[in-house]
Structure 1
Amino acid sequence: MDIAVLGAGSLGSVIGGRLAQSGHAVTLINRNPTYVEAVNRDGLILDEARRRDVIRVPARLTSEGLGPVELVIVLVKSFHTEESIRAARGLLGPQTTVMSLQNGLGQEDILARVIGAEHVVAGKTYVGGVMTASGVVSAGTTDKETIIGELSGTVTTRVCAIANAFETAGLACSTTDNIRGAMWDKLLVNVATGALAGITRLNYGNLYDIPELAQTAIEAVAEAMDVAALLGVRLKTTDPRQAWEKAAEGLAFTFKASILQSLENGSRTEIDFINGAVARAGRELGFPTPVNDTLVACIKGLERALDPKLEGQAA
């Protein structure tokens, strides 16, 4: 399969790297020139379970000059979704499938509006990755499933083909006729840990060692589950603690949530698409979400502190 990974950061590198390693024609697209230079020079390096793989896969700053591919995997930061897919239109042909594996909710709606819903499938992944140096990623794929499906709820040949490509690459993958439920189940995992990790600046090992943080996480997830129920979403998650526990399964003590990684890199987070999505839906439903509201507010404050141009200015 001819695949382009749009936004090949830590997670995109893990997924794109494993797909390339299994024989698929993968191109990694990352706007960081240091990353692109390192991957093209030294190969993509994936460290996992005391094993190091050096994978030869082309990396590019943009998709300019590339023709249509069979599959575009979108992993840019959620707030860059629209501009990124518009800039990558050269990758799209009549038969191209575009699949978001981004954190949070709402990206599929953006993609469908820009390129047409017929090109878009949805996916959620529990695979993890942390970039330890340019082109070097600590990967977490063991027992980490990816779930994909059509927005219409049907199971089609194209989602089956994508799932098969992932499976043959050693990435556990399944299809579903309830992708909306799968998206919310994954959202619950991100709701549990992302904001709290960002606020406390703790890796997973330390985050999970504080009972008060566990209780806050569980309360945030419970709010999200209530909102999902009001929306008629069918969840597999039956207890808020399940999301808290699932978030850390199979990950190293030193693993860091994506929101924390963004803050440490001095960049904007995806909070609006995670806890913010819960708070936004709650407001639309007239259902209070005070825990998620507070977590969003704290992350917004940290983002402001990272931008000296905004400090001291009125909102």
Structure 2
Amino acid sequence: MNDVMILGAGALGSYIGGMLSQSGCSVQLVNRSAETAAVIKRDGLTLENDQGKVQTYPSAATPDQATAARYVLLFTKTYQSMAAIQSVLNKLSPDSVLVTLQNGLANGERLAACTDLPIVQGVTMIPATLVKPGVVRSKGFSDTWMGPLNLRSAIESQAARDLADMFVTAGLTAEYQENVAPKIWQKACFNVAMNAICALSDGSPGLVNDTPELKSQAHALADEAVAVATASGVAVDEQALHSLIDSACQEHRFHQPSMLQDIRAQRPTEIGSLNGFIVARANELGISVPKNELIAGLVLARERAPIFWNGQ
């Protein structure tokens, strides 16, 4: 049994899988793209980071070729999670642990709805860009936090501790937190503030920084999301959140958020697990979040626009 399966081996999954492989873990990168798997099998995986370039040779496969692993790290888009897990569920061991470090909210709960396997949830700030198949770049701030989905599960807690240690050994900044929900919400609130604005403006954090009228709206979107988090019983560090927004605007000038990449490629976005989730939860709680409601609607319309215009 492998140490790690990366399910959804795009930029971020490949980078983390590559770093774990380079440290001596047995890693299998699982991706729907047979071409990507073939490139990695032939040439290995090149990682570009602040320390330079690293060449590593993890196993690579398509879902039908996947083999069991102790940790199954899910890095697909949130709307692809269930299909991805179902595609490998019969290959997993009773000792396997599912791990979600995906963007958005309620990812752990979605996994728990389809399996009884232990679940570790968390969030990562690792930036990653797929340069080309088999080459991934990651530079800058890269903290990761992880913990159990079920706070009363000793198995999940120990699994999260062990995985965090594996990350650290591999040169990845990682920290175990018994209650990781505030970190998950903080990253989600940041993405709620930035991702859709960048996607709709065809811009980047740098463009948001250069447009004060837009930057103020990013902070306002975050404030609405924090209000929903608070009403849900999760305490988000507001000062740290707003500092993170300002820092991203200043330091990640030409970063292309995943939602912008999805819109440009005419793919579905993760709006449903970000601004859309905030709207849905706010409706349950009786809270008004008009800015997030507008943004969610605009992104959904933008997703549908190519089909709309092609149908005239």
TM-score when scaled to structure 1? 0.91
Separation (CA, whole Å) in 1 of partners of 2:23 and 2:274: 32
What is residue 60 of structure 2 aligned with on the other side?
59
Aligned to 2:118: 119
Query: Percent same amino acid among aligned pairs?
Result: 29
| Partner Cα separation in structure 2 for residue 93 and residue 178 of structure 1 | 26
**Aligned-partner residue type, residue 132 of structure 1:** V
Q: Which amino acid aligns with 2:142?
A: K
Residue-by-residue CA offset, 1:255-286 (whole Å, 9 max, x unaligned): 21010111222211101001111111111111
Closer, same or farther in 2 for the Cα pair 1:13/1:250, shift >3 Å?
farther
Using the TM superposition, name which of 4-13 and 90-99 deviates more: 90-99
- Give the whole-Å Cα distance in 2 for the aligned partners of 1:246 and 1:121: 29
Distance 2:311 2:181 in 1: 39
Pair 49,293 (structure 1): closer, same or farther in 2 beyond 3 Å: same
- Distance in 2 between residues matched to 1:261 and 1:307, nearest whole Å: 18
Post-superposition shift, 1:254?
Answer: 2.6
Tell me what 1:148 maps to. 146
Answering whether residue 170 of structure 2 is matched by residue 169 of structure 1, we say yes
Task: Look up the equivalent residue of 1:182 and give its one-letter code.
Answer: K
In proportion to residue count, which structure has more helix? 2
For residue 267 of structure 1, what is the aligned residue in structure 2?
267
- Which amino acid letter does the alignment assign opposite residue 210 of structure 2? D
- Match of residue 6 from structure 2: 5
What per-residue deviation string (whole Å, max 9, x for no partner) do you get for residues 202-244 of structure 1? 1333332221221010000000011111111122334652241
1:193-208 correspondence runs (5 A): 193-208=194-209
Match of 1:277 in 2: 277
Kindly state the Cα deviation for residue 249 of structure 1 after the two structures are TM-superposed: 7.7
Equivalent runs, 1:154-233 vs 2, <5 Å: 156-233=157-234
1:69 corresponds in structure 2 to 69
Three-state SS of the structure 2 residue aligned to 1:124 is strand
Aligned residue identity for 1:256: Q
Separation in 2, partners of 1:223, 1:97: 34
SS of 1:178 mapped into structure 2: coil
Per-residue CA deviation, residues 268-306 of structure 1 (Å, 9 max, x unaligned), is 110100111111111111111111111111111111124
The match for 1:133 is: 132
User: Is the 1:46–1:138 contact (alpha carbons within 8 Å) kept by the matching residues of 2?
Assistant: yes
Alpha-carbon distance between aligned partners in 1 of 2:250 and 2:172, rounded to the nearest angstrom: 16
For residues 44-100 of structure 1, the C-alpha deviation after alignment (integer angstroms, 9 at most, x for no partner) is 1222237222221222121x3443210000011111111110111134211111001
Q: Compare 53-62 and 232-241 and name the one that shifted more.
A: 232-241
- Unaligned runs of 5+ residues in structure 1 are none
Distance 2:250 2:36 in 1: 28
Given that 1:7 and 1:75 are in contact with CA atoms closer than 8 Å, whether structure 2 keeps it comes out as: yes
CA distance in 2, matches of 1:79, 1:109: 13
| Structure 2: gaps of 5 or more residues | none
Corresponding pairs, count:
308
Aligned to 1:38: 39
Q: Is contact 2:66–2:88 with CA below 8 Å preserved after alignment?
A: no
The TM-score normalised by the length of structure 2 is: 0.92
What is the rounded CA distance, in whole Å, between the counterparts of 2:162 and 2:310 in structure 1? 47
The change in CA–CA distance for 1:88 and 1:248 in structure 2 (over 3 A counts) is: farther
Q: For 1:134 and 1:243, how far apart are their aligned partners in 2?
A: 30
The CA RMSD measured in Å over matched residues stands at 2.1
Residues 27, 60 of structure 1: 8 Å contact kept: yes
Matched-pair contact (CA < 8 Å) for 1:218–1:240? no
Query: Can you list the C-alpha shifts for 1:173-198, whole angstroms capped at 9, x where unaligned?
Result: 11112222121111112112110111
Q: Distance in 1 between matches of 2:310 and 2:115?
A: 34
CA 1:48–1:207 in 2, change beyond 3 Å: closer, same or farther? Answer: farther
After TM superposition, where is structure 1 displaced by more than 4 Å over at least 4 residues in a row?
Answer: 246-251, 308-312
After superposition, the Cα gap between the structure-2 partners of 1:39 and 1:204, relative to the gap in structure 1 and judged at 3 Å, is farther
